[in-house]
Amino acid sequence: MTPQRAVLLLRISYRKPEDGEEETDETTRRREFSKGIGRQEEDGRALAERLGWTVAKVIPEDDTSAFKRRRIKLPDGSTALRTVRPGFREALEGLADGTYDGMIADDLDRVARDPRDLEDLIDVVESSRPRIPVTSVTGSLRLDDDAGVTMARVMVAVANKSSRDTARRVTRKHEELAAEGKPPGGGYRGYGFTAAGHEPIKDEAKILREIAARILGDWDGWTAEERAKVDSEMGESLNSIAADLRRRKVPTVTGVPWSDRSVRSVVSKPSVAGLREYRGEVVGEAVWDAIVPRERWEEVRARLAGRHRAVDLTLKRWLTGVLRCSNCGRTLMGWQGNNGPRYWCAKPNGGCGKIAVKAAFAEDEVARQVLELLGQADVLARLRTVADTEVTDEARAELAADEEQLKTMAGMFARREVTFAEYREARGIIEKRIKESRALLTSRAPRVLRRLLAAEDVAAGWEGLAPVDRREVVLALVPGYEVLPHDRSMGNKFDPGRLVPIEA
């Protein structure tokens, strides 16, 4: 039977920039994606025409790896390592429920490089009689008989082994380059340095030093009037610096306009201070010269970190991360709407945009439920029993000690007192202990809840909590709340029944 509702599965992935490299701008990335996917679609449609198939749906997987796995939560509540490919899963579901009656891809490795993904496809194909037709432009994917299935299994196993070998060699190469303080090589160049040789670029280095000075509040390029507006203790804001760079038409590496995020990014990279970074950690001095002196760079980082902490402490919408959309399951976010603050399944962040609730109503109702729960004598007694333990304090002390030891080890490696192999082995042991300590802490009542339970007046203690602490208390009591749709027959009246506690 010739498929009349075939799905055309396309996939492309990109090499991720290494440490110290700049991300490519979105316009360039989209252009590369369009060309690569366009070629696959053109070849796939040509094959469909030759075979007499009709393509009903094209599913493109943009920047999606068929090899790399992530830890995800399974439907039964357990966690496991899986490839994350919504497009591939959509195609499988469509083949399983009859939405599609065949599938075309460019090549077998565009469909699967993980044996588990291939087995899922085989299960769907063999669940139908006759088997669901599956083919590829290159002819490498054929599942119409046992010989084709066996060959596909062998080829995916080989492809998976090849990907693992490549990942291992690349990782080892970058570990060696990091240990020697050399640049990672390849990819997109970092701001301030050439792509080849990692040599400082004079004009960009000047901008980096300017940004550092403006953050530290001692730039000599301000007019007297501008200087008077800058707090020497806080420095100039990143938004203000970005706006001035845009006004002066100072180019970025990617060509996109400056923003507060890009200003922070370029000046805070360890490479700017002549340091080598590997997987988010400074592992020693680099072979290139610093653009911003290390002591000054550390002052910049400290000041930026201080600003970041200040932002975190001003959290207002404390139910962000607590409320979930009953329509699509995503987390509702604090959002400023036309009628004031609300929690919304925000479409700009991938939500469905169909569920929203006024912030004040939701917060008042959750606070009421929390205080009602904590007002029950048996609940208070049970929670105090859980919270009143020395285990949590011991775990916190061990966690702090291990984190301090990690910093000490990094310093020893930077001073060449230990080899990279020794540092890596020690880090693995310490990080395992840190993971265990954090797991214990999150399984116990949080410290803020312990303080609240110790208060004579729980209600008064709740009123004195910072928003971020209120959120921690709520999540210690319930996994969250599902927000149901608004019943329009009630007009603008808030219905507390819309907030349904999620069972643990």
Q: pLDDT tens, 256-288?
A: 899 988 999 999 988 899 888 776 677 778 888
Mean pLDDT over residues 365-390, rounded? 69
Decide if pLDDT at 178 tops 90: no
Q: What whole-number distance in Å separates Cα of residue 155 and Cα of residue 440?
A: 43
Q: What percent of the chain has pLDDT over 70?
A: 80
pLDDT attached to residue 395: 59
- Residue-wise pLDDT for 223-251, tens only, equals 888 888 887 777 898 999 999 999 999 99
CA proximity to 369, closest of 478, 443, 446, 461: 478
pLDDT of residue 17: 45
Phi-psi bin for 81: left (phi > 0), alpha (psi -120 to 50), beta?
beta
> According to the model, what pLDDT value does residue 453 have?
63
Q: Report the mean per-residue pLDDT for the chain.
A: 81
* 376 pLDDT more than 60: yes
**pLDDT value at 291 more than 70:** yes
Burial class (CB within 10 angstroms; exposed 0-12, middle 13-18, buried 19+) of 174: middle
The answer to whether residue 198 scores a pLDDT higher than 90 is: no
Confidence (pLDDT) at 432: 74
3-state secondary structure of 287: coil
Contact 242, 229 (CB under 8 A): no
Burial of 32 (0-12, 13-18, 19+ CB in 10 A): middle
Predicted confidence at residue 314, as pLDDT, reads 46
For the chain, the residue count is 504
Under DSSP, the state recorded for 49 is H
Residue 440: is its pLDDT beyond 60?
A: no
Can you give the pLDDT at residue 210? 94
The predicted-structure confidence for 322-359, as pLDDT tens digits, reads as follows: 899 998 988 898 887 667 788 998 887 778 889 999 99
Helix, strand, coil share (%) of the chain residues, nearest 5: 50, 10, 35
Q: What are the domain boundaries of the chain?
A: 6-173, 202-311, 323-389+444-501
Check whether domain 6-173 has CATH 3.90.1570.10, yes or no: no
Q: pTM for the whole thing? A: 0.43
Does residue 374 have a pLDDT over 80? Answer: no
Residues forming a β-bridge with 324: 331, 482
Is residue 490 very low, low, confident or very high in pLDDT (cuts 50, 70, 90)?
A: confident
445 pLDDT more than 60: no
- pLDDT at res. 24: 45
pLDDT at 23: 43
Which pLDDT score, from 0 to 100, does residue 22 have?
42
CATH topology of domain 202-311: Hect, E3 ligase catalytic domain fold (3.90.1750)
